[in-house]
Chains A and B, each alone.
Chain A
Amino acid sequence: MKENLFGMTIAQLGKVAESEGIPAYGARQIGDWLYRKKAGTFSAMSNLPRTVRESLAAHYAIDLQPPVKVTESSDGTRKYLFAAEQGGFVEAAWIPEARRSTLCLSVQVGCKMGCLFCMTGKQGFQGQLSSGEILNQYQSLPERDTVTNIVYMGMGEPLDNLPNVLDSLEVLCADYGFGLSPTRITVSTVGLVPAMRTFLERTRCHLAVSLHTPFEEERRRLMPVENVYPLKEVLAELRRSAIHGQRRVSFEYILFDKLNDTPRHARELARILNGIRCRVNLIAFHPIPGTPLAPSPRDTMVQFEAHLREHGIMTTIRHSRGQDISAACGMLSTRELVRMKEEADR
């Protein structure tokens, strides 16, 4: 099987150029064709010598996969299904708004984290996406040229696939790549501390931490990762890391009725976030099959927001989008496709 050039960083392309016997600047030329000029074939790379183009075509591929299915929400959100190289599928969501459009992309087929409120976790973990597969969700998106913001908040835990996520972020932000501003990109995490430290050191993208309750015992029941990387360690790491300039740290907080939406929770949340320059995004819970959790009423969400603001925490209530096509926060999943494959394999 030929190695996929799409998704490679400049250093990786440099090795390809070296192996092909072309000057180092050839790597930049290839990157320019792959990412800026959207070349789908080597023959299109007209400023490379013909022999090089032929040799590249003999040894490498430009593997771009269009989505295999699209579903559109009544609010305009579109959910795309992409096939993964090792089998299985991932979903990406395109969310248009008046003055921007956001792509929510996936990094893993499934997820290992097992959060109680998340549909992706219910399908288990089937595999990592390569950098090329992550970037393909952007490059092959029909609305690609309208995308202003990218969030790594689809299927999978981004920091559990750190090397490929870092490579994809480099390509998105580099001048040889897509040239996007890192301040237009947000990577979410449940709080894998060592990987979070590396991410903060090596990129300038925004970070969103899934928090969901300030109390350790409650969080353990919602998010098994609390057993390994307790929230207090996550916050300690953020305090140690220099969060400055335009970089933003946000905390995602899904509100569950009578579970984590009380004034006591708001007070404790404000207390533990004291000293961290951040914002809190309050998110309506989108019930998934079999869940024991219920969404907080809208009034409670507004009161919770007000409590946090009184304590000086910048807080917003995030609008739900794409709920009718299961594209909203925590709803992306290809579980049924996984089960169909398992049944077929038996």
Chain B
Amino acid sequence: MSLDDYRVLFLVATLVLALVAASPALGVVVPFDGGSERFSELWLLGANHMAQDYPYNVVEGEEYTVFVGVGNHMGNSEYYMVCVKFCNSTVSFLDIDGGVPSGLSPLMEYRFFVGDGMVWESAVSFGFRNVVIDGDVLSVGGVVVGGVVFPVDAVAVWDSEAGGFIFRLFFELWRYDVESQVFGFDGRVVGLRLDMTA
């Protein structure tokens, strides 16, 4: 190697070492986002705290339990609201999946704050009251969520395809937007399909 080659080698080595020495200050000046996607997650687990054994055949007077959870990967603490809604099977989940929340009024709601990278989870018990079958029509007069009875007027017609009276209990995730200072639908919904035939 010639002296000029050695000179270049020394310059490069010095530059690299200088960058390493300057990295603590560069870390403050240059933001390293890591490029990770920011999102919130919403999940629903069965009574055994696993993604199985979800209630399906339900009857009046019984109490059922599921676990609803929310994970925050938004990069900072977030203020969430989970709305519990109930409807018959004629309300399509496609509208909800399209980023539009259901127009139904919520029964119960949960409001909570989750730090970045943290999760929130709660057991949600539910049941039904005043279930009346009249021919091929079944009406539900009350839904119990977390021990609170909510009067409803939900009616389902016998679904010959599914072979039952089908209802839906679902959970919508809403997130507080600091800029607009209102809750906005986060586009995430989890739900249960319930047959009240039994």
Q: Are A and B co-members of a single complex?
A: no
Please list the residues of chain B having a beta carbon within 8 angstroms of any beta carbon in chain A: none
Please list the residues of chain A having a beta carbon within 8 angstroms of any beta carbon in chain B: none
